[in-house]
């Protein structure tokens, strides 16, 4: 028997030998993506750009569905998403945002937070990669650009959530970040923007279009200083004026005189009416030729796009009967009649942003029919409580319900992609002018001090210049100029009108000027503190 045991022992030894020899066999190698084992350690300059500029690409998700844009816009008076026959009920989130009764569980809050801090996290990681990289031509500017983007994401987060964590690391060596007071976040953003000013590209041309430049830095600083009183309790009007003047006097920017040559699939009469000098700033073919653009998020319907600023609002009409778009509208958001009423100068070019009145077929003459056979005529009125008294926010899924509320067509659809081609304007010259005007007025505590700047904009928009100016006029002018560009909430708060009633909204709780930290973030990071009131 003995030799049999030897055989068994031999087998066991053999098996052990095979196993030990196989340990390296379990090392994984992902052939599709890169990782430490197959990503080159020394990269060429282009590769560093391809990593660094991902920090900008995140801006595209600013305006997707149920995004940060929806969070900061649907709670204002310029955009609300009424329910239409149950459609857009979406668990009450749009109603909650409109009514200012949101809680920290609102999905949109979480999406907004994830977008902004996702961008910040990306910047941190990219900066680590760049800092670790050997020197190459342009490295300093590249780092500055990523820091500028990070400052922008921090600005949006600070503006929306107030007290947020400042965390610049890519590991847990200092534990999870704790909440910083809003004033500290303000200070951090300011110091970053000042520090990188000399390193950012100052040139403004096609080569710097869509990138964070010196102008971007100054515009963001201006925005920061304009709202300094809201953020920190201390006004910084002079600093705001300084930054605005630096931009305005640089000669690199100005009002856009371009008229878009974009034409496909737009009924000619409508196009002529629509694509004026103002609307061309936002047209699908906008780009470096738009002199107003200080910072625009470059989009391409095929190669990179995330924003949907038109489709959610467009009426639901047959696929080929309206604008010949390959996609239908979602018949979602519209403006409150009170906001639309601010567009009261018939010659104002900015009136073209609204889809109002009859919808025309591509021939520009035939009026499209609603699904009950009636002519599809959009009316600004929102008949709350008429279609369904038990659900007043529901204007009805009927043909009449579908046509209520004027729709924003500022980012005119390109007729081919539901993901828009239009570059999204983040900072533009007109904003600098109106910010300067406002800062001057506030500094002198007299709204009329803004008159020259306000009229400069009005003239360019073919609106009659004001002779007198109140604070409300100033706010309304900003409303007309920047509708659906993501600034209305910021402006309403700064003008102290956040507690005003509009639509069905009556809530004026003061703490609602900042959003709550999303519940799931509080769970993930117990060092975060919920904002007061929530």
Partner 1 sequence: MKKLLTLFMRDRFVSYSLKCIKVMKITVLLSILGVCQAFATSTYSQTTRLTIDVQNTKLKDVLTKIEDESEFYFLYSSKLVDTEKEISVKADNLKIDEILTSAFQGLDIEYAIVDRQIILSPKAMMKDYIETVAQQQKKVSGKITDSSGATLPGVSVIVKGTTSGVITDSNGSYSLSNVNENATLQVSFVGMKSQEVVVANKTVINVVLEEETIGIGEVVAIGYGTQSKRDVTSAIITIAPKEFNKGIVTGVNSLLAGKVAGLFISQPGSDPTKGATVQLRGSSTLAGGSQPLYVIDGFPGADISSVAVEDIKSITVAKDASSTAIYGTRGANGVIFITTKRGETGKTTLEYHTYYGVETISRRNQVATGDQVRAQLKLVNLPLAVTDNDGANTDWQKVISRAGLTKNNNIELGGGTEDTHYFASVTFNDRSGVVLKSHSNRFTGRFNLDQELFDKRLKLSVNVANNVINNSSVDDGVFYYALRFLPTSNVYNPDGSYKESPGRQIYYNPLGQINNADLVDKYNNMTANAMAVLKIIDGLNFTGTYGIQNSDHLSSQYRTNDNPIYAPVGGYAQRTAFKNGTSVYELYSDYSKTFGKHALKLLVGYSDEKDYFNDGVGAQSVGFLVNSSGYYGLLNGNIPVGFNPLGRFLGSMVSPSNPAYQDARLISLYSRFNYNYGDKYILQGVVRRDGSSKFGANNKWAIFPAVSAAWVISQESFLKGYSKLDNLKLRASYGVSGNQGIAPYASLPRFGPSSNYYNNGTFNQGFYYKQNPNSDLKWEKTTSTDIGLDFGLWGNRLSGSVDYYYKLTTDLLNYYQVPVPPYAVNTILANGGSLYNKGIEIELSGVPITTGNFSWKTNFNFAANKNRITSLSNGVYSQSTVYTGEVGGQGLSAVTSQIQKVGQAIGTWYLPEYAGKDNSGASLFYKADGSIVKGNLITSSDNKILGSALPKFTYGWTNSLNYKNLGFSFTIRGVYGSKILNAVAVNLNRLNSLQSYNVSVAAIREGNPDNPIYSSHDLENGSFLRLDNATISYKLPIQSRLIRSASIYTAGQNLFTITKFTGVDPEIDLNSQAPGINGLGSYLGTPATYFRTRTITIGLNIGF
Site for partner 1 in 149-188 (CB under 8 A): 167-172, 176-177
The residue among 202 and 272 lying less far from partner 1, judged by its C-beta, is 202
CA 457, chain centre distance (Å): 23
Q: Which of 22, 40, 42, 137 binds partner 1 (CB under 8 A)?
A: 22
Task: For 358, list phi and psi in degrees, rounded to 5.
Answer: -70, 145
CB of 435 to partner 1, least distance (A): 26
For residue 240, count other CB atoms closer than 10 A to its CB: 26
258 burial via Cβ count (<10 Å: 0-12, 13-18, 19+): middle
Q: Does 145 bind partner 1 (CB under 8 A)?
A: no
The answer to whether residue 264 forms part of the interface with partner 1 (CB under 8 A) is no
Strand, helix or coil at 427?
A: strand
- Among 304, 358, 465, 532, which residue sits at the site for partner 1 (rule: CB under 8 A)? 304
Among 41, 249, 302, 467, interactor with partner 1 by CB under 8 A: 302
Q: For residue 374, what are the contacts with CB-CB under 8 A and spacing of at least 6? A: 399
From 79, 240, 317, 424, residue interacting with partner 1 (rule: CB under 8 A): 317
321 binds partner 1, rule: CB under 8 A: yes
Scanning 185-193, 302-310, 428-436, 452-460 for contacts with partner 1 by CB under 8 A, the matching segment is 302-310
| Whole-number Å distance between alpha carbons of 382 and 188 | 43
- 118 forms part of the interface with partner 1 (CB under 8 A): yes
Q: Binding of partner 1 at residue 396 (CB under 8 A)? A: yes
Determine the size of the site formed for partner 1 (CB under 8 A).
116
The position carrying tokens 């900008």 is 56
Residues 201-260 that bind partner 1 (CB under 8 A): 206-207, 209-211
Cβ closer to partner 1: 54 or 258? Answer: 54
Contacts for 104-109 with beta carbons within 8 Å, 24 or more apart?
104/516, 104/517, 104/518, 104/519, 104/522, 104/530, 104/534, 105/518, 105/519, 106/518, 107/66, 108/66, 108/67, 108/70, 108/71, 108/74, 109/71, 109/515, 109/516, 109/518
Stretch that binds partner 1, among 217-225, 323-331, 339-347, 424-432 (CB under 8 A): 323-331
The contact mask relative to partner 1 for 440-479 (x = CB under 8 A, - = no) is ----------------------------------------
Q: Any contact of residue 89 with partner 1 (CB under 8 A)?
A: yes
In this structure, the dihedral spanned by the alpha carbons of residues 418, 32, 114 and 504, taken in order and rounded to 10 degrees, is 20
Minimum distance from CB of 361 to partner 1 (Å)?
A: 12
Q: Which is nearer to partner 1, 462 or 525 (CB)?
A: 525
CB 478 within 8 A of CB 487: yes
Q: What is the DSSP string of 483-534?
A: TTTT-HHHHHHHTT-TTS-BTTB----GGGGSPPPPHHHHHH-TT--PPTT-
* 293: Cβ contacts below 8 Å, ≥ 6 apart: 209, 253, 256, 281, 286, 423, 425, 428, 429
CA distance 265 to 362: 7
Q: Does 511 bind partner 1 (CB under 8 A)?
A: no
Per CB under 8 A, 88 contacts partner 1: yes
* Residue among 174 and 472 whose Cβ is closer to partner 1: 174
Contact between 114 and partner 1 by CB under 8 A: the answer reads yes
Find the binder of partner 1 among 34, 194, 203, 507 (CB under 8 A): 34
Burial code (b: 16+ CB inside 10 Å, e: under 16) for 285-302 equals: bbbbebbbbbbbbbbebe
Q: Is 318 in the site for partner 1 (CB under 8 A)?
A: yes
User: If binding is defined by CB under 8 A, does position 375 make contact with partner 1?
Assistant: no
Whether 132 and 170 have beta carbons less than 8 Å apart is answered as no
387 counts as binding partner 1 under rule CB under 8 A: yes
- Applying the rule CB under 8 A, the residues between 409 and 438 that interact with partner 1 are 416-419
232 or 311: whose CB is closer to partner 1? Answer: 311
Nearest-10 Cα torsion for 91, 95, 100, 106:
20
Q: Which listed residue (69, 330, 340, 487) binds partner 1 by CB under 8 A?
A: 330
Of 120-128, 430-438, 441-449, 494-502, which segment contacts partner 1 by CB under 8 A? 120-128
Number of neighbours of residue 192 by Cβ within 10 angstroms: 19
Q: Which of 105, 184, 348, 476 binds partner 1 (CB under 8 A)?
A: 105
**Residue from 89, 48, 94 nearest 71 by CA:** 94
Instruction: From 156-164, 221-229, 278-286, 318-326, give the range in contact with partner 1 by CB under 8 A.
Output: 318-326
Report 46-75 residues binding partner 1 (CB under 8 A).
47, 49-51, 53-54, 56-58, 60, 66
Q: Which two tokens stand for residue 303?
A: 């190669």
Kindly state the smallest distance separating residue 520's Cβ from partner 1, in Å: 6
Minimum Å gap between C-beta 450 and partner 1 is 35
Say whether residue 95 binds partner 1 (CB under 8 A).
yes
Q: Decide if residue 289 touches partner 1 (CB under 8 A).
A: no
Q: Which residues contact 218 (CB under 8 A, 6 or more apart)?
A: 197, 243, 244, 246, 247
């Amino acid at each position: 028997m003995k030799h049999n045991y030897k055989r068994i022992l031999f087998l066991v030894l053999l098996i052990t030998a095979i196993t030990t020899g196989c340990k390296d066999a379990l090392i994984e190698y992902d052939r599709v993506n890169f990782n430490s084992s197959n990503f080159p350690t020394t990269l060429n300059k282009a590769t560093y750009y391809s990593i660094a500029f991902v920090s900008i690409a995140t801006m595209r998700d600013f305006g997707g569905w149920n995004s940060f844009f929806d969070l900061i816009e649907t709670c204002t008076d310029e955009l609300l998403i009424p329910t239409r026959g149950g459609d857009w009920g979406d668990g009450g989130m749009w109603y909650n945002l409109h009514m200012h009764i949101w809680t920290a569980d609102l999905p949109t809050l979480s999406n907004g937070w994830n977008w902004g801090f996702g961008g910040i996290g990306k910047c941190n990681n990219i900066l680590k990669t760049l800092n670790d990289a050997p020197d190459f031509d342009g490295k300093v500017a590249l780092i500055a650009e990523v820091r500028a983007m990070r400052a922008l994401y921090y600005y949006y987060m600070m503006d929306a959530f107030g007290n947020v964590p400042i965390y610049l690391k890519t590991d847990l060596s200092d534990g999870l970040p704790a909440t910083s007071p809003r004033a500290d976040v303000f200070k951090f953003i300011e110091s970053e923007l000042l520090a990188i000013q000399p390193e950012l590209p100052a040139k403004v041309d096609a080569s710097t279009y869509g990138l964070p430049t010196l102008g971007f830095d100054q515009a963001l600083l201006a925005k920061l200083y304009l709202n300094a009183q809201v953020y920190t309790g201390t006004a910084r009007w002079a600093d705001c004026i300084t930054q605005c003047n630096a931009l305005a006097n640089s000669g690199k920017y100005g009002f856009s005189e371009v008229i878009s040559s974009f034409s496909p699939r737009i009924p000619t009469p409508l196009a002529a009416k629509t694509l004026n000098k103002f609307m061309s700033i936002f047209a699908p073919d906008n780009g470096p030729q738009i002199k107003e653009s200080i910072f625009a998020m470059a989009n391409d319907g095929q190669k990179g796009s995330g924003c949907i600023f038109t489709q959610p609002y467009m009426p639901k009409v047959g696929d080929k009967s309206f604008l010949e778009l390959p996609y239908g509208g979602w018949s979602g958001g519209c403006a409150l009649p009170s906001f639309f009423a601010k567009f009261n100068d018939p010659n104002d070019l900015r009136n073209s942003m609204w889809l109002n009145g009859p919808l025309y077929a591509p021939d520009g003459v035939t009026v499209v029919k609603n699904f009950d056979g009636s002519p599809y005529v959009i009316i600004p009125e929102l008949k709350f409580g008429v279609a369904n008294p038990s659900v007043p926010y529901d204007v009805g899924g009927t043909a009449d319900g579908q046509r209520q509320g004027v729709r924003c067509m500022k980012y005119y659809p390109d007729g081919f992609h539901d993901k828009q081609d239009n570059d999204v304007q983040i900072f533009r010259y007109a904003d600098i002018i109106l910010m300067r005007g406002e800062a001057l007025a506030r500094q002198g505590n007299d709204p009329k001090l803004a008159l020259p700047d306000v009229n400069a904009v009005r003239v360019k928009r073919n609106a009659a210049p004001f002779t007198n100016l109140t604070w409300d006029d100033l706010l309304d002018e900003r409303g007309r100029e920047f509708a659906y560009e993501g600034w209305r909430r910021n402006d309403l708060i700064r003008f102290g009108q956040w507690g005003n009633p509009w639509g069905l909204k009556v809530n004026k709780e003061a703490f609602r000027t900042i959003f709550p930290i999303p519940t799931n973030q509080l769970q993930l990071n117990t060092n975060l503190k919920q904002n007061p009131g929530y």
